């Protein structure tokens, strides 16, 4: 999906980038289906996430919601 040679870090922020600000009326949690992982799969995912965070390819979210896929 990505060309590793071209993709070094996230694009710079621009004035047209939008942030979704949640309100107090929004639900605190969502009723979603969880996908279970083995301990080995979770460790591999955590290692991958740490590597991507350190490389600047992903950033930590401030949202209280998460997506049940990767």
| Tens of pLDDT, residues 21-39 | 888 888 887 777 777 889 9
pLDDT at 1 over 60: no
- Count of structural domains, the chain: 1
Residue 20 inside a domain? The answer is no
Does any domain span residue 10? no
C-alpha to C-alpha distances, 28 to 23, 24, 25, 33, 65, nearest whole angstrom: 10, 8, 9, 16, 8
41 in a domain, yes or no? Answer: yes
What does the pLDDT average to over 6-12?
70
Task: Give the model's pLDDT for residue 66.
Answer: 72
Q: Assess if residue 34 is contained within a domain.
A: yes
Query: Would residue 52 count as lying in a domain?
Result: yes
**Domain for residue 6, yes or no?**
no
pTM: 0.56
Q: Which residue has the tokens 């460790």?
A: 43
The conformation of residue 4, written as its DSSP 8-state character, comes to T
Residue 32 lies in domain: 26-57
- Answer whether residue 47 is part of any domain: yes
Residue 3's pLDDT band (cuts 50, 70, 90): low
Q: Is residue 69 part of a domain?
A: no
The mean pLDDT of 47-66, rounded to a whole number, is 85
Residue 69 · residue 44 · CB < 8 Å = no
């Amino acid at each position: 999906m990505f060309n590793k040679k071209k993709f070094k870090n996230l694009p710079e922020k621009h004035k047209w980038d939008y942030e979704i600000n949640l309100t107090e009326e929004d639900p605190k949690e969502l009723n979603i289906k969880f996908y279970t992982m083995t301990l080995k799969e979770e460790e591999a995912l955590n290692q991958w996430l740490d590597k991507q965070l350190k490389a600047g390819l992903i950033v930590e979210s401030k949202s209280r919601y998460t997506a049940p896929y990767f």
